[in-house]
Amino acid sequence: MDKSVCQAYEDEIQALEEEIRLLTEQYEDIQQESTFFSEEEILKSIKSFQGETQGETEGHESPSDLIAQLESLEKDLSFLMKLTGFQFTSHSKKTLEKTANRTVQKHRLSGKCHSLSFQLEFQLLEMQDNEKVSAVVSDLSIVMESRDDSDVSKFVSSTEERGDVLTFFRSFSTYAEWYEHRRCTFLHFKAKYPDIVTLPEGLLGDFIILRNPKVSGLELMIVWKIHLDEEGTTTPVLDLLPKVPEQVLEQRMRSVESIPSSFRSALRLFGIEVAIENLIKVLGSGK
């Protein structure tokens, strides 16, 4: 091979190595500063990067492979969001301390899981001992929708005390999924039976009321609580509270008293939606 050609290749390699070194230094500098990127800003940066790479001059490697990888990552992210229900809207990170084997960073996260919003703030200490890397979370602070609920408040306090970020995400995902399931179920029955189903506290309430328009004073309240204990276990609890006119109560005391237990049996046998559906149909057929 001609020496001039070899020299040209060597010069180009050196230039690329120098560019990599400069980019590495820039990246490390950025890591020392606070960063804050919203989802909108990330998408703008991606589009800007795609536009810049498409305008590259001849002689540089085609960016098509990189763009394909980027699209693949976007699909994976979309899949994970659908699977877990989580959507992060903002993240900021600030390096407080950095040595050869110790790094302390402060993180702020906010986002939504299904229809519930949350905010996290914590410090992350990473220590490296030979090939082993350990991480410790401290100063965890959680702002979570529905914290006015005593069960949720106890869970948040317990999780903050333990600094257990993983338990928070796992438990909050299950809790928010049940919360969304309840909301969608109430919406479904209100739309399907508008004359019978009433939502006194709206879709975010924890009960619905069933009324037969032909029977004055007869009401069935379905209470649907979502309990979250300090360990992060979510348990849906449903019950039926009947309100019956006195004249009907005197005539049919036994049948009225059996309504709640029959509803609980239907829940165990058929599930929530079918049990509510059957109750509405029985109530609607009464005269």
- The pLDDT tens digits for 129-159 are 877 888 889 999 998 876 567 888 899 999 9
Q: Of 220, 196, 207, 222, which Cα lies nearest the Cα of 284?
A: 196
Tens-digit pLDDT profile for residues 117-133: 999 999 999 888 877 88
% pLDDT > 70, the chain:
71
Confidence at residue 64, expressed as pLDDT on a 0 to 100 scale: 76
Confidence at residue 285, expressed as pLDDT on a 0 to 100 scale: 72
Distance CA 74, CA 222 (A): 42
Is residue 150 domain-resident? no
Mean pLDDT of the chain: 80
Is residue 84 domain-resident? no
Count of structural domains, the chain: 1
Predicted TM-score (pTM) of the model is 0.69
Residue 248, domain extent: 177-285
Confidence at residue 114, expressed as pLDDT on a 0 to 100 scale: 87
Does residue 281 register a pLDDT over 70?
Answer: yes
Distance CA 148, CA 206 (A): 14
Confidence at residue 221, expressed as pLDDT on a 0 to 100 scale: 94
First-to-last C-alpha distance (Å) of the chain: 99
Q: Is the dihedral of CA 170, 176, 181, 184 positive or negative?
A: negative
- Which residues fall within 8 angstroms of residue 259, CB to CB, at 6 or more apart? 220, 240, 242
Is residue 252 domain-resident? yes
Is residue 28 domain-resident? no
Is residue 202 domain-resident? yes
Distance CA 45, CA 194 (A): 47
Which of the residue ranges 65-69, 91-95, 110-114 would you say has the lowest mean pLDDT?
A: 65-69
Tens-digit pLDDT profile for residues 189-244: 999 999 999 999 998 899 999 998 777 777 899 999 999 999 999 999 999 998 76
Identify the band that residue 34 occupies on the pLDDT scale cut at 50, 70 and 90.
Answer: very low
- The mean pLDDT value for 100-109 works out to 90
The partner residues of 102 in beta bridges, in order of sequence, read 127
